[in-house]
Amino acid sequence: MDINPLLLLMLLWSSEFMRLVGGASRCAGTLELKHLGEWRRATSGDVSIKDAADSVRLLNGTSLCSGRLEVNYNQSNQSKQSWTSVCEDHFDQQDAEVVCRELGCGPPSALQGALHGDMGAPVWSKEFQCEGHESTLLDCRSSNSTRSSCSPGKAVGLTCSEPIRLVGGASRCAGTLEIKLGEWRPVDGDNWALREAAVACKQLDCGSALAIEHRKSSDRPVWRIQHDFVKSRFSLREFVIPVNSSSTVDLTCSGNHITSSFVT
């Protein structure tokens, strides 16, 4: 499982299933995972650390996948990062696809100026010319722009879809709940009821929750979602911890969703 270092720190802070031992403090040492009540050292097959996205970020949104876009133009010196806003005149859907992918989110669903606040940094002085397949935004070709400022309300505000899905059902709004965090895994169904299902259906843009079914299978890696998420406005994936479980959950949502459109 590839995992962002920042997310790993969040998991260690909140999880009863992960810990660091043998170091100078609780924040240093060997990573161990708890399985079936016993602690064991994590192996490379359990988790591998990948670099966080250090060239782009989304600010002032409701999750890691939404906000005002900023680009780090000082890649050579990570101790002195310099962030710039991007003017929407220099940004299109293919550029947005690259940003969403770089952040580990789903495809872009909305691009709108000042959606998450106006300029909070200098303006990026180049126009991105992504083809949509690049790994990072700074891998894209770019051309110089004569603009050094951006009109009010024109800072790129981007919303990417969340990496959450229902699979194996009759439609995109029915099936086994899965979340992607490095890899797709089913969600542990223990203690899930219609209240939890309603949050998932809403984040899937699938209306309200109609039914929930718990399934049992062989013990396997899944994502367990801490129940604080029900009262939160943040994404489900920001509350996950990796566990092994034999329980998964199938949801049926109403499907009365609002069709997302890419707004420019």
Of 8-12, 72-76, 191-195, 200-204, minimum mean pLDDT range = 8-12
Q: How confident is the model at residue 229 (pLDDT cuts 50, 70, 90)?
A: confident
Total of domains in the chain: 3
Type of residue at 99: V
Q: In terms of DSSP bridges, do strands 83-85 and 48-49 run parallel, antiparallel, or are they unpaired?
A: unpaired
Is 263 domain-assigned?
A: no
Q: Which of 127, 160, 193 is the last residue of a domain?
A: 160
- pLDDT for residue 149: 61
Tell whether 32 is covered by a domain.
Answer: yes
Provide the residue range defining the domain that includes 82: 56-160
DSSP secondary structure code for residue 155 in this structure: B
In eight-state DSSP terms, residue 63 is S
Going by C-alpha positions, the residue among 156, 70, 57, 39 that lies closest to residue 104 is 57
Strand-pair partners of 85: 70, 123
pLDDT, greater one: 256 or 193: 193
Could you give the CA distance from residue 260 to residue 264 in angstroms, rounded to a whole number? Answer: 13
Render pLDDT for 24-79 as a digit per residue (tens, 0 to 9).
666 667 777 765 566 777 765 455 444 445 788 888 887 778 888 888 876 655 55
Please give the pLDDT value at position 89.
78
Q: What is the mean pLDDT of the chain?
A: 77
Q: Are residues 171 and 146 in the same domain?
A: no
Task: Answer yes or no: are the C-beta atoms of 203 and 249 closer than 8 Å.
Answer: no
Tell which of 32, 49, 66 closes a domain. Answer: 49
